[in-house]
């Protein structure tokens, strides 16, 4: 089974279809909307996607995700009755993992029901099946990052990514903080990291 691919994006149609060139082989990958912009990219602009290989009798589909956490949540969604790959992909396209986790935690059936393919009964099943499994999986929000000074670098990185910066950009900004990590308040670290990201 394919678990991860790194390569150059040849096509990204903004609806979840990605073609990834890995050493001359083009892989068709289904992905949540916005995955490529959030995926880790190296100096050559090659992106890394975490892959779920879905095999059925008549087809083999690849589903790609910006983070391993996104892939884990996709697999958890597949374990919910009446949720197939397309519906699970739709859920992750409609809401980030953090928002999904919060909606499930609050039992927000109305919010979940707004996702295409998710009706009232399926929304109830999502809450029932995922409430415990999703707890603690979502990324750290910017507010939470400022509350706890532990793991300063990781929390500033998570905050920046949640603000919409590409992981590569965020990592460079965090690296620029150097020895200040772990010695200054998270609010100050985040402010300085944002300064590195602002032209």
Evaluate whether the domain defined by 68-134 bears CATH number 3.20.20.150.
no
Tokens representing 48 are 């890394």
Give the pLDDT score at 185.
73
Q: Looking at the domain that runs over 4-65, which CATH code has it been given?
A: 2.40.50.140
- 45 alpha carbon, distance to own chain's centre: 19
Give the pLDDT score at 89.
92
Q: Is the pTM of this model over 0.95?
A: no
131, 108 in Cβ contact below 8 A?
no
Give the pLDDT score at 137.
58
Give the pLDDT score at 199.
58
- pLDDT tens per residue across all 199 residues of the chain: 788 999 999 988 766 789 999 999 999 999 998 888 888 888 888 999 999 999 888 889 999 999 888 999 999 999 998 899 999 999 999 988 888 988 998 999 999 998 888 989 999 999 999 988 887 554 444 444 434 444 567 777 777 776 777 777 888 888 888 777 767 777 778 788 888 887 5
146, 188 in Cβ contact below 8 A?
no
Can you give the residue ranges of every domain in the chain? Answer: 4-65, 68-134, 142-197
Phi-psi region of 26 (alpha: psi -120 to 50; beta: other; left: phi over 0): beta
63, 27 in Cβ contact below 8 A?
no
Of 87, 151, 144, 95, which is closest to residue 118 (Cα–Cα)? 87
Exposure letters 123-160 (e unless 16+ CB within 10 A, then b): bebbbebbeebbeebbbbbbebbbeeeeebbebbbbbb
């Amino acid at each position: 089974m394919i678990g991860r691919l790194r390569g150059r994006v040849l096509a990204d149609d903004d609806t979840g279809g990605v073609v990834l060139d890995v050493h001359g082989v083009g892989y068709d990958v289904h992905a949540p909307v916005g995955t490529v912009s959030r995926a880790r990219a190296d100096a050559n602009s090659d992106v890394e996607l975490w892959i779920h290989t879905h095999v059925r009798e008549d087809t083999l589909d690849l589903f790609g995700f910006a983070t391993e956490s996104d892939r884990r949540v996709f697999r958890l969604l597949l374990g919910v009755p009446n949720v197939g790959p397309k519906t699970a992909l739709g859920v992750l396209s409609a809401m980030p993992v953090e928002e999904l986790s919060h909606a499930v935690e609050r039992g927000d059936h109305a919010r979940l029901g707004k996702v295409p393919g998710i009706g009232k009964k399926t929304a109830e099943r999502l809450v029932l099946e995922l409430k415990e499994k999703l707890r603690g999986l979502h990324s750290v929000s910017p507010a939470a990052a400022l509350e706890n000074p532990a793991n300063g670098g990781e929390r500033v990185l998570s905050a920046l990514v949640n603000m919409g910066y590409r992981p590569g950009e965020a990592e460079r900004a965090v690296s620029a903080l150097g020895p200040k990590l772990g010695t200054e308040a998270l609010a100050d670290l985040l402010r300085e990291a944002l300064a590195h990201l602002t032209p």
